[in-house]
Amino acid sequence: MRNRWSDADAGDGPLGQCAYGSRLIGGEPTLVLHGGGNTSVKAEIADVTGAPVEVLYVKGSGHDLASIGPEGFAPLRLARLRELLTVTALSDAQMVNELRCALLDASAPDPSVEALLHAMLPHRAVQHSHADAILTLTNLADGEAVIRDVFGDDVAIVPYVMPGFDLAVRCAEVWRDRAHAGTIGLVLLNHGLFTFGDDTREAYERHLDLITRAERRLAEHNAPAPAPAPARARPTSAELALLRREISEAAGRPMIVARHADEDTARFVARADLAEVATRGPATPDHVIRTKRVPLVGRDVAGYADRYREYFERHHRRRGTELKPLDPAPRIVLDPDLGMLTVGGSAKDTDVARDIYRHTMDVITAGERLGGYRPASEEHIFDLEYWDLEQAKLRRAGAPQAFAGEVALVTGAASGIGRACARALAAAGASVVGWDLDAGVTRTLPGAGYLGQVVDVTDRAAVESALRAAVERFGGLDMVVASAGVFKAGAPISALDADAWRTSMAVNVDSVAVLFRETHPLLALAPRGGRVVVIASRNVPAPGPGAAAYSASKAAVTQLSRVAALEWAADGIRVNVVHPDAVFDTGLWTEEVLAKRAADYGMTVEEYKRRNLLRTEVSSTTVAQAVTRLCSDDFAATTGAQIPVDGGSERVV
Ligand SMILES: [Zn+2]
């Protein structure tokens, strides 16, 4: 592993250098993944009275080593931590409380649960990772002997103990009995590596040195060039959506399901011994929170859920306190035909599970080559999964967002009403698929929960392939908002332009009919029932002269939606229509057009914008709020409705 330390880039002082060294290991996915690992540095500062105080700056929980800065560290009174290490027992809750009480800054993040272990080590700088190479070697049946062989007497070995007070005490015992002047690391079996030094650079270089030695051992048993994975037929969107529905039923809430079929994954799931090697347990117990103890191999979700309940029954009494069972749905699904599916309450969660399990596949593959992958015991995994601190997080968690775990498709999502709908649905927790002709649709929303696709909704092949990609990304579809539309320049019927008429019909009606046909099988599998909202127009109940093509097309799409409401009610799908009017913050309205139109009516622009019964301005956001509410349970008993969002029109009321 390459040494990336640069004195020119290292920050100022011990804390700056610690943050820099943290980012170096945090930026290396074979060392640290998604919030894993931690680091610290000890320094002497003056407190507000001017008195010198020894401080341990340790990574704050919730901060990621890949991006941490000095503010991500929690400053603790070192003398107090050393006192805590002398008590005979400390529950997790007591430890968390004591750590907070030892802070020098009341606004600092919660210190890492491994803070006492950092405090115990006499060196100024400490780095801790969950490196793949260390996990591979320590997850072997003879892991301890292999570690001894690779590192000689340069490291002390600590048997697996759950993170927290007990681990710190166990490490202190090992340190007292085994450490000597040449000890540069602690190897925690089934867990990871600690290195230390006089400064962060030394701790970092020792880390790399030990990792490099471990990697060299792995390379001695290098695999022959991998055979290409066998080609398999892609699963259909309906197959994936059905599996997502079953997983969501087991979880008791809608879940996002992402599919991964890259070459490495395809090769792993094609292993003849897949069901056996993949169900021994995670590479380190910590991963259980993201991946559960074992993946579902195959597609029997109900069988998996039964086995999970049995696992809970086998272990929960041992703990002597009431435990709240977690949902029994898998987080990783491995299937020779599907590849890997990762499952989570959000798209981000599915990404984290994917990253962790990709490394797990590497660790399993290498471990099997070296003589057999033997992870921590089922008891250890259960104890971490049902750790007091994890249970406390569940107790604290508020109600999930209205659309958590659900997927919404919004057409016309690059601007105006479509973009506002995409944002409002995402703000309520939905993962969103946005379509538009405008390439700006890829930037409508940031983050893992958004997939922007450049799609011409009148191109059937493009619609089919975009929909397929969306299902591969999120697992299915719960909501559709049909917002893409065109308004061709007004003309009286006597001067009707046949092409303009045809385009209006193609975009405003035909494309929605195709969208309905293609999305119906997916909406019928939505865990909480499908919901469709069509953006029509006030022109439907109150047409205007000179807008024949627009009014007729919006009337047709309204009628199409009413038929869908009739046909799909038995599938639990609600279909509603909104009729907006005078929404001026869309691409259709430029300032010039607005000024001209106001002048035509003898009004100021402000008066013109509010020429409705309520004298209110209707914006894209106003429409998006109505659409979002229609998709929510507030309207669970409403289908086939047409809701004006127009400030009130005397021609409609
Ligand atoms: Zn750790």
Residue 596, phi then psi, degrees to nearest 5? -65, -45
Position 544 scores a pLDDT of 86
- The encoded tokens of residue 233 equal 């037929």
CA separation, residue 576 to residues 124, 391, 629, 646, 653 (Å):
64, 41, 11, 16, 19
Using the mean position of ligand 1's atoms as its centre, give its distance from the Cα of residue 138 in Å.
Answer: 14
Alpha-carbon torsion, ordered 607, 611, 613, 617, to 10 deg: -70
What φ, ψ does residue 256 adopt, rounded to 5°?
-90, 135
192 C-alpha vs ligand 1 centroid, how far in Å?
6
- 561 near 597, Cβ under 8 Å? no
User: Among 204, 304, 373, 550, which one carries the catalytic annotation?
Assistant: 550
Annotated active-site residue 308? The verdict is no
Cα(626) to centroid(ligand 1), Å: 47
Can you tell me the distance from the alpha carbon of 236 to that of 239, in angstroms, rounded to the nearest whole number? 5
Q: Ligand 1 center to residue 230 CA distance, Å? A: 37
What is the Cα–Cα distance from 55 to 62, expressed in whole angstroms?
Answer: 21
Q: Which helix (H) or strand (E) holds 39?
A: strand 38-46
Two structure tokens written together for 491: 């003309």
Token pair, residue 504, equals 């209006």
All domains in the chain, ordered by first residue? 13-220 (3.40.225.10), 237-396 (3.40.225), 407-586+617-645 (3.40.50.720)
Cα of 284 vs centre of ligand 1, distance in Å, is 9
Q: What is the CA radius of gyration of the chain?
A: 30
**Confidence (pLDDT) at 220:** 87
Residue 25 Cα to ligand 1 midpoint, Å, equals 13
How far, in Å, from the CA of 242 to the mean position of ligand 1? Answer: 37
Rounded distance from Cα 193 to ligand 1 centre (Å): 8
d(C-alpha 503, C-alpha 546), whole Å? 16
Three-state SS at 74: strand
**Residue from 346, 342, 321 nearest 259 by CA:** 342
Containing 328, the helix (H) or strand (E) segment is: none
* Contact of 548 with 494, CB cutoff 8 Å: no
How far away, in angstroms, is 406 Cα from ligand 1 center? Answer: 33
Helix (H) or strand (E) holding 354: helix 347-369
In sequence order, the 6+-apart residues with CB closer than 8 A to the CB of 633 are: 402
Residue 78 alpha carbon to ligand 1 centre in Å:
20
Ligand 1: centre distance to CA 262 (Å): 29
Distance CA 254, CA 248 (A): 5
The separation between CA 315 and the C-alpha centre of its own chain, rounded to angstroms, equals: 29
| Ligand 1: centre distance to CA 210 (Å) | 17
> Could you state, in chain order, the average pLDDT of each consecutive group of 10 residues for the chain (653 residues)?
90 94 95 90 94 96 93 97 94 94 95 96 96 96 94 96 94 96 96 96 97 93 73 90 98 98 93 96 94 97 98 89 92 95 97 96 94 94 89 79 97 96 98 97 96 97 97 98 88 92 96 98 98 97 92 97 98 98 82 88 91 94 98 98 96 91
- Its sign, for the CA torsion 544, 549, 550, 555, is positive
* Dihedral of alpha carbons 537, 543, 547, 548, sign: positive
Q: Which residue has the tokens 């540095």?
A: 41
The rounded Å distance from CA 38 to ligand 1 centre is: 7
DSSP-assigned states of every residue in 216-266? HHHHHTPPPPPPPPPP-PPPPHHHHHHHHHHHHHHHTS--EEEEE--HHHH
Amino acid letter, 566? L
Question: CA 412 to CA 460: how far, in whole Å?
Answer: 16
Ligand 1 centre and the CA of 89: distance in Å?
20
**pLDDT tens column, 101-156:** 999 999 999 999 999 999 999 999 999 999 999 999 999 999 999 999 999 999 99
In 273-341, which residue ranges form alpha helices assigned H by DSSP? 274-277, 288-291, 301-316
Going by C-alpha positions, the residue among 218, 172, 224 that lies closest to residue 194 is 172
In angstroms, what is the span from residue 59 Cα to ligand 1's centroid?
12
pLDDT in the model for residue 394? 72
Residue (of 24, 210, 34, 202) closest to 126 by Cα position: 202
**Which positions ≥6 away from 161 have C-beta within 8 Å?**
167, 170, 188
Q: Around 316, how many Cα atoms within 13 Å sit in the side-chain half-sphere?
A: 14
Tell me how far the alpha carbon of residue 420 lies from the centroid of ligand 1, in angstroms.
Answer: 42
Estimate to the nearest angstrom the gap between the alpha carbon of 587 and the chain centroid.
32
What is the C-alpha to C-alpha distance for residues 547 and 545, in angstroms, rounded to an integer?
Answer: 6
Pairwise CA distance, residues 379 & 385, whole Å: 10
Beta partners for residue 618, in sequence order: 583
Q: Give distance in angstroms: CA of 30 to centre of ligand 1.
A: 14
129 Cα–ligand 1 center, Å: 6
Instruction: State in Å: Cα 285 to ligand 1 middle.
Output: 10
Spatial separation of the C-alpha atoms in residues 204 and 211, rounded to whole Å: 11
Ligand 1 center to 442 CA (angstroms)? 37
- Do 601 and 608 contact (CB within 8 A), yes or no? yes
Q: Ligand 1 centre and the CA of 559: distance in Å?
A: 60
What is the spatial distance between Cα 134 and Cα 209, in angstroms, rounded to a whole number?
12
Amino acid (one-letter) located at 410: V
| pLDDT number for residue 490 | 75
**CA 275–ligand 1 middle distance (angstroms):** 28
Distance 352 CA to ligand 1 centre (A): 17
Q: Determine the pLDDT at residue 120.
A: 96
CB of 125 closer than 8 Å to CB of 40: yes
- Helix (H) or strand (E) run with residue 357 in it: helix 347-369
340 pairs with which residues across the strands?
Answer: 260, 334
**Backbone torsions φ then ψ of 600, nearest 5 degrees:** -55, -35
CB within 8 A of 276, min separation 6: which ones?
none
Q: What is the largest CA-CA distance in the chain?
A: 98
Question: Which one-letter amino acid corresponds to residue 474?
Answer: F
In the chain, the amino acid numbered 281 is G
406, two tokens: 């659900």
- Which phi and psi (to 5°) does residue 234 adopt? -70, 140
